[in-house]
Amino acid sequence: MNLLPARLLELREHEGVSLFRFEALGRELLMIGLEPLWGLVAGAELRLGIKATHLILSRRLPEEMTLFNALPVRCHAIDRGELLASVALVCEGHALEAILPLPSLEKMGLKEGETLYALFQAAELSIVGMGDES
């Protein structure tokens, strides 16, 4: 699980659905939640989680797409296994990991040192703790 230090910028709720807006690693991120707001207020320092298998890597920011969450990252290292590859990423000095099927990695021709974007949907982000420790 990738952990991101974040600050809650805004939260809105309507008919049991919550929309959270955060600042994390120098970027604005969105999260959709179906849980109560837990008494959170704007300015709260939180830890967000995103599974390594939920990150999509791209060399360019997608256009004409509904995807909002994108973090600029650098590929630090690639560990190839029999079926999967673990890609170590760095964003604003913070370590992240993407786990990809090996054919996807090979199709992309990803190399260490490349600058990329780690993309993920708002529903794949979660609040995993309070405070900014990661």
CATH number at residue 104: 2.40.50.100
Find how far residue 36's CA is from the centre of its chain. Answer: 22
Whole domain around residue 113: which residue ranges?
A: 2-130
What are the tens digits of pLDDT across the range 77-130?
999 999 999 999 999 999 999 999 999 999 999 999 999 999 999 999 999 998
pTM of the model: 0.90
* Domain count of the fold of the chain: 1
Q: How confident is the model at residue 132 (pLDDT cuts 50, 70, 90)?
A: low
